[in-house]
Amino acid sequence: MPFENSQDQVLASLDLLEEALRANDERAHQIRERIATIREQRRSGRSYREITPAEDRPLIVELVTASLAALDTASAQVRRAKAQELHREGMTMETIADLFGVTRQRVSALLRPKETGE
């Protein structure tokens, strides 16, 4: 069955996931640099109470939080688009649930139209 690339929501969601991964690569680089700096400062005898307020923003914990949020958002879009396309192509909710490792109820929720604010 041919498909229109411009309407392929799975590919569009994969593009968003790839974008999130690129941004996470940049954050991961920043995190590794910060880790090295903190280790160096600890070796020189500084306390975390001294180190943390002097750190550049965003802090490591903020970078990790942003990375997790980006992956969570992008992966949710991939799951929803993939479930909807598989179902549209005739796959049952039970089969999709087995493939995704979730319940049939979760697949049912993925198949419902996305509500504003979700």
When pLDDT is averaged across residues 72-86 and rounded to a whole number, the result is 97
Q: Distance (Å, rounded) from C-alpha 40 to C-alpha 46?
A: 9
Q: Distance (Å, rounded) from C-alpha 23 to C-alpha 85?
A: 27
Per the CB < 8 A criterion, the answer to whether 77 and 16 are in contact is yes
Residue 102: the pLDDT is: 96
Query: Using one digit for the tens of pLDDT, what is the confidence trace for 4-48?
Result: 555 899 999 999 999 999 999 999 999 999 999 999 999 999 999
Place of tokens 């914990």: 61
Residue 69: the pLDDT is: 98
**What is this structure's pTM?**
0.80
